[in-house]
Structure 1
């Protein structure tokens, strides 16, 4: 069984991680906001994974066992909040939109680690106000509990460009497309196309953070053309893939 580190206080700090670096599974008694000012961050729990570029932050509720991984050179900003302070009343990991103001507030607040005084308290109050208006983003890639569904998802995770139909994938794992379609809905709360698109977007963010050219990302993630990839990416993240590969 994997050992889970228990660090009661969720730190507020800035730290840098090299591409590929990991922070092993751990939990806090506090809530935590996790934000990548540069690079792309993935957070994994038993319930699935979340990937966040610089326009997103991840809310990790108190007590949640989670692990981090850096994609690209990562500038990680962590904001710890006591368990009683939950401005969004969220009890599950959630991706939040980060606009220009919230971004600067998070960066400024985490860079004043250890400081105290009225100026920092005012900064914290404005940060919490901005969090309360943050829009939740549907960028969660849930982990299936059904063995049949897990087999299908494992095939796609090993090759996101796999364009086989659900029926073709079902033949490989020994299940009908009707059964699998029902499992996607009941187990993961989304359709097969929705889950596969989410997987591809997660993979695309990681490739872009590693400076992979946009055309190559589109091909490796299974889009029929670069323009189709750009369109889906823009609708999901509000910016073009090129903005994430710099």
Structure 2
């Protein structure tokens, strides 16, 4: 269990975070929904990281040690919950529908609402959270030193085009062993992990104002259209729509 000094209340409200700003590692004794009404936000735990645009929110269960970082000027909306409407005991990315977005924005900002109105909003919010599907924006952190070395190479340069066999030669591991470690350590294949890494980097760059074409090139896609197709499949909209 995290140290007591890292305990923070799971508040409901809005907090602006400047571009590049961070909230140090902490935990809550209640569940929390984390949402970026503006900008792009990452949530990192010992097990890995989530990075989310405005069409996703992060479920952070009570007792989870985590930290935040903002990419672009970010408005952090948080909802503290005694309930666990999702029945989840691990962090997860949730799809934010237009209705759920408006509920999150209203519930975290309308301090003038009376108790009955807040109670009604709370019940509708819980209902919409139960309906919200989960989507994989998670980038797990490897435990094995050989696989971690490969992942570090790609974090330094997401556009690195080398195959797993070629990367394995650099760290002294076979493609077969690394493929097995991807399944056991990361819970996904190597191409899936690399795509997630590139999407994470793309969200960060888009938040700083980089063009879609430049982001596609810097993150390793063969063409802008291939990047747009992958981004749309992951987040439900184009990278250009996210910037707008």
Mapped contact 1:4–1:65 kept (Cα < 8 A): no
Which secondary structure state, in structure 2, belongs to the residue aligned with residue 33 of structure 1?
A: strand
Off by >4 Å, runs of 4+ in structure 1? 2-5, 113-116
* Structure 2 gap ranges (5+): none
Structure 2 match to 1:159 = 157
Mapped contact 2:6–2:25 kept (Cα < 8 A): no
Which secondary structure state, in structure 2, belongs to the residue aligned with residue 150 of structure 1?
A: helix
Change (3 A) 1:15 1:243: same
State the alpha-carbon separation in 2 of the partners of residues 150 and 125 from structure 1. 43
State the alpha-carbon separation in 1 of the partners of residues 199 and 219 from structure 2. 8
Please give the TM-score of this superposition, normalised by the length of structure 1: 0.96
Aligned mate of 1:226, from 209, 221, 224: 224
Structure 2 match to 1:90 = 88
Mapped contact 1:5–1:27 kept (Cα < 8 A): no
Mapped contact 1:210–1:245 kept (Cα < 8 A): no
State the alpha-carbon separation in 2 of the partners of residues 169 and 53 from structure 1. 30
State the alpha-carbon separation in 1 of the partners of residues 94 and 179 from structure 2. 29
State the alpha-carbon separation in 1 of the partners of residues 216 and 135 from structure 2. 22
- Check if 1:38 corresponds to 2:38: yes
| Number of equivalences | 243
User: Which moved further from structure 2: 133-142 or 109-118?
Assistant: 109-118
Change (3 A) 1:205 1:12: same
* Structure 1 gap ranges (5+): none
State the alpha-carbon separation in 2 of the partners of residues 91 and 218 from structure 1. 35
Shift of residue 226, structure 1, vs aligned partner: 0.4
1:73-107 C-alpha deviation (Å, 9 max, x unpaired): 1011000012xx10000000000000100000000
Structure 2 match to 1:74 = 74
Match runs of 1:61-210 below 5 Å: 61-82=61-82, 85-113=83-111, 116-210=114-208
Change (3 A) 1:8 1:68: closer
Mapped contact 1:6–1:26 kept (Cα < 8 A): yes
